[in-house]
Amino acid sequence: MTKRYWLMKSEPEEFSIDALAKVKSEPWSGVRNYQARNFMRDGMQVGDGILFYHSNCAEPGVVGLAEVASEAYPDPTQFDKRSDYHDPASKPEEPRWLMVDVSFKRKLVRTISLTELKGRPELEEFALVRRGNRLSVMPVAPTQWKLIIGLEKEKNHGQ
């Protein structure tokens, strides 16, 4: 199978790249968007690359690299009445929500900001930079992956 690439968003106060570095691997629970779930269910494979993205913070951007560490499986938080992610319509025999495990690869030497990504004409088709995109999980084309990883070492930060 061909390796695929993904971007996964997390709010750093909720779960940061540093938190992932500490635990090494983490279930990516709480996704409650059907399209994002379908990417995990139908597209993700063990070993796929992940751009770890901090959102809803002072400087949103790509902060690290991770890897898909499991096939998709039912997210137990959907059945937990105490969880913020509880879904009373989801049944154990027919789970609505799935998750994958994500493993830490490395932290980037610097944040590649959303502003910097938006400033790259080569990335104008990248889902993250298009208006109105709120997905927490999205595909990244191999050419986009290579370009974004290459930005890490640029000194002028693309400005």
What confidence score (pLDDT) does residue 156 get? 65
- The 8-class DSSP code of residue 148 comes to H
Range of the domain at 19: 5-151
Q: Where residue 115 sits, what CATH number does that domain have?
A: 3.10.590.10
The upper half-sphere exposure of residue 72, i.e. CA atoms within 13 Å in the direction of its Cβ, equals: 17
118-154: string of b/e by CB count within 10 Å (b at 16+)? eebeebeebebbeeeeebbbbbbeeebbebbbebeee
Q: Is residue 156 part of a domain?
A: no
The residue-averaged pLDDT of 3-8 equals 97
pLDDT of residue 1: 66
pLDDT tens digit string along 17-70?
999 999 999 999 999 999 999 999 999 999 999 999 999 999 999 999 999 999
For residue 145, name the pLDDT band (cuts at 50, 70, 90).
very high
Distance between CA atoms of residues 118 and 75, nearest Å: 33
Residue 115 lies in a domain: yes
d(CA 49, CA 90): 29
The amino acid sitting at 68 is: V
Residue 157: pLDDT above 70?
no
Confirm whether 158 is domain-assigned.
no
- Residue 13 has a pLDDT of 95
The per-residue pLDDT for range 105-135, each reduced to its tens digit, is: 999 999 999 999 999 999 999 999 988 777 8
Tally of domains in the chain = 1
- Residue 48 located in a structural domain: yes
Of 154, 153, 149, 158, nearest to 51 by C-alpha is 149
Q: With respect to residue 133, please indicate whether it lies within any of the assigned structural domains.
A: yes
Please tell me the total number of residues recorded for the chain in this structure.
159
Q: Does some domain include residue 159?
A: no
